[in-house]
Amino acid sequence: MRLGTRRSLMATTQSQMVADAYTERTGRAIELVGVTTFGDVTKAHLAQLGGTGVFVSALRDKLLEDEIDFAVHSLKDLPTKQDPRFTLAAIPARHDHRDALVGPHKFADLAPGARVGTGSPRRIAMLSALRPDLEYVPIRGNADTRIGKVASGELDAVVLASAGLHRIGRDADIAQIFEVEELLPAPGQGALAVECRADRPDLIAFLGVLDDAPTRSAVTAERSLLNALEAGCSAPVGAFASDDGHTLNLTAVVVALDGREAVRKSAAGSPSEAVTLGRLLAAEMIAEGADRLMGEHSH
C-alpha cells in the first residue's frame, strides 16, 4: 500500500511511524511516497497564504489520481471544513499537544528585548501577553532551520510544537514546555490525520484500526470551535480538549495579535457531542467579543 507524505524530515518520520503501526497491526507492507506541496516551496509566510490547505492539496491530488492509497497529515494543517471526496479514516492517539521553547534559557529568564522566533501569529499573540518586553520574530522553514537560528545567535529562542521536536529526536534542545494555562495550542496540535478517498470503504475499514476515540473526540471539538470562529490558520485561536472517557473538556482562547486583549472560556459535555460543544463554546466567545478581537486578522 502507498502512503503519501510531505518530504520534510518531520513529515516522513511521523508517516513512517504510522506505516510501521499499520504493518505491526495488520502485516501489510506500506511504501512511503514523498510529495512536494505548495506550502513546502513558497517563500510566503503561512499567515499570508489564505488559511490552511497549502500542505494538503497536493497530497489530496495524488489520492484522486490514485497515485497513493492514503495520506498522513499533521491534523492542524488540514482545513477545518471536511471535503466530501475524502474521509478522515483514522486519527491515531495524540502525542504531546503543547508548545516548547528551544534555546539556552527558560522563558522567564530571557533578557528584556530578547529575540524569539516563531512561525505562528497564535504563539506571537500569546507570548506577547505573557512577556510584552520581548521581540517576536516571524520565521519560516523546517524545525532544523529554526533551531539553527538559535545556534547561530540570530535568535535567542524559538517556539515549536513539542510533538514535532520529539518525533525528530530534538528533545535535548528543549529549554521549557509551556503548559496549556500559559499557551493554548493550535486546534489539533500534536495529532496526525490519516486520510483516504471517501469511495474506498475497504480502505476506510483497514485504516480505522489506528483510530483513537478519545483523541478523535477531543480534536473534533477543537476543530469544530475553530471552524465556527472562521479562524483559518492565521487568526490567533488556541484550543485544547481532553476526553477521559466520560466527559469532554474544552478550553479555548482568542487573542488580539498584540496580546493585550483575550477572550478565554471553557465548556464540558459528552464526547459524543464534540461538534456541538465546539460550536457552542465558539458562540459564547463571540458573544463576549471574540470576533471583535479577531477583526482584521480573520480572512
pLDDT for 299: 40
Q: Are residues 200 and 66 in the same domain?
A: yes
Choose between 295 and 200: higher pLDDT. Answer: 200
User: Does residue 35 share a domain with residue 20?
Assistant: yes
260: annotated active-site residue: no
Residue 253 belongs to domain with CATH number: 3.30.160.40
Of the residues 6, 60, 69, 76, only one is catalytic, namely 76
Query: What pLDDT, on the 0 to 100 scale, is given for residue 291?
Result: 81
CATH number (domain holding residue 12): 3.40.190.10
Domain end residue (candidates: 177, 201, 231): 177
| Percentage with pLDDT > 70 across the chain | 91
What pLDDT does 41 receive? 64
82 and 44 both lie in a single domain = yes
The total number of structural domains in the chain stands at 3
The answer to whether residue 185 is domain-embedded is no
The answer to whether 122 is a known catalytic residue is yes
197 and 73 together in one domain: yes
Given 6, 60, 94, 123, the catalytic residue: 123
Q: What is the mean pLDDT of residues 107-131?
A: 95
Taking only the tens place, the pLDDT of each residue in 212-222 is 999 999 999 99
> In terms of domains, do 226 and 291 share one?
yes
Same domain flag for 57 and 195:
yes
Per-residue pLDDT tens over the stretch 251-273: 999 998 888 889 999 999 999 99
Tell me if 183 is assigned to some domain: no
* Structural domain contains residue 200: yes
Q: Are residues 58 and 202 in the same domain?
A: yes
Active site includes 76?
Answer: yes
Of 78-82, 220-224, 235-239, the one with minimum mean pLDDT is 235-239
Confidence band for 224, pLDDT divided at 50, 70 and 90? very high
**Domain for residue 186, yes or no?**
no
234 belongs to a structural domain: yes
Looking at the fold, whether 206 and 89 belong to one and the same domain comes out as yes
User: What pLDDT was estimated at residue 66?
Assistant: 97
Among 60, 122, 200, 216, which one carries the catalytic annotation?
Answer: 122
| Lowest mean pLDDT, pick from 149-153, 189-193, 214-218, 227-231 | 227-231
The catalytic position among 6, 60, 77, 216 is: 77
Phi/psi of residue 70, nearest 5 degrees: -150, 165
Assess whether 233 carries a catalytic annotation: yes
Q: Are residues 40 and 157 in the same domain?
A: no
What pLDDT was estimated at residue 281?
96
Residues 269 and 276: their CA atoms lie apart, in Å, by: 9
Report if residue 275 sits inside a domain. yes
Domain that holds residue 112: 99-177
Per the model's pLDDT, the better-predicted residue between 234 and 124 turns out to be 124
Q: How far apart are CA 79 and CA 169, in angstroms?
A: 28
Query: Looking at the domain assignment, is residue 299 inside a domain?
Result: yes
Question: Do residue 206 and residue 232 come from a single domain?
Answer: no
For the cut 70, the answer to whether the pLDDT of residue 105 exceeds it is: yes
- Please indicate, yes or no, whether residues 206 and 75 belong to a single structural domain of this protein: yes
Q: Single out the catalytic residue among 62, 115, 140, 279.
A: 140
> Is 146 an annotated catalytic residue?
yes
**List 6, 146, 200, 216, catalytic entry:** 146
Tens of pLDDT, residue by residue over 29-79, are 999 999 987 666 666 655 554 455 777 888 999 999 999 999 999 998 898
Does one domain contain both 132 and 277?
no
Instruction: With respect to residue 85, please indicate whether it lies within any of the assigned structural domains.
Output: yes
